[in-house]
Structure 1
């Protein structure tokens, strides 16, 4: 499966909701307000995924688009389905060696991974993140994060 997004420049990303930090520091945030209605919140995951894909291409990290967008989908979906805050915030940041994706649901609770029910239709998203990302975890702040090493770092995945 290929995730295609039209090419976007930094101005278009800003209009789409991402706030990028100072030039040279590759970091961007986007916040999505929670409506509390699954039907209204469901499209937010696709929006986050498309914006992240465009941002990664803008940063020259096209090789990470598919695995990173899978992680964005799972983390943002979890935040909307299980989170308690009024907003869901996603942050993408790039160092010389890694891409970090961080999602906060704005709630005061700390998420915890659950063992998936093998007969349930869902509940395996974090297993996918674990399989594709180089590392993942839950910060003390409650943010769920994952990192991907990028090819320019000289390592193999």
Structure 2
């Protein structure tokens, strides 16, 4: 079973707030305004996942869709649940050897992984990102990033 979302066409990507680079370049950014209500912001995770899946197909990296979409789900959800900024921004970049996904909530805090409570119903998102991504971390400005290498790519 795949968690990759249904394809989006170019018009749907534009309505979703998707901005892409010039033809021939492979990087994109999508920003989502925070409503302040989790029930209204929850659909943004699916929207971010659909954007990520569409970009990966567009960039010829569909084999990364399941892992990357799982990471996008976790990082965007964490940004909406725990973040403090008014905007959640997802960026994706492709280099010759890897895909990099970045999520930032626009707040002034730096996210930190918490110890996992094995009995809790949530709190395992960063463990999933760590398991599926080839590398991940947090920058000084609070941007959470992860890297994926295509099959046969350099690690």
Structure 1 length as normaliser, TM-score? 0.93
Q: Say whether 1:8 aligns with 2:22.
A: no
Question: Secondary structure of 1:114's match?
Answer: coil
Stretches of structure 2 that go unaligned for 5 or more consecutive residues are: none
Question: Secondary structure of 2:65's match?
Answer: helix
Q: Say whether 1:65 aligns with 2:59.
A: no
Retained in 1: the 8 A contact 2:30–2:89? yes
Corresponding residue number in structure 2 for 1:115: 115
Question: Secondary structure of 2:63's match?
Answer: helix
Stretches of structure 1 that go unaligned for 5 or more consecutive residues are: none
Corresponding residue number in structure 2 for 1:44: 44
Distance 1:39 1:12, change over 3 A: closer
Q: Say whether 1:136 aligns with 2:136.
A: yes
Q: Which runs of 4+ in 1 moved over 6 A?
A: none
Distance 1:41 1:112, change over 3 A: same
Retained in 2: the 8 A contact 1:86–1:107? yes
Q: Deviations over 1:109-139 (max 9, x none)?
A: 1111111111110000100000000000001
Corresponding residue number in structure 1 for 2:77: 77
Aligned residues: 154
Distance 1:17 1:119, change over 3 A: same
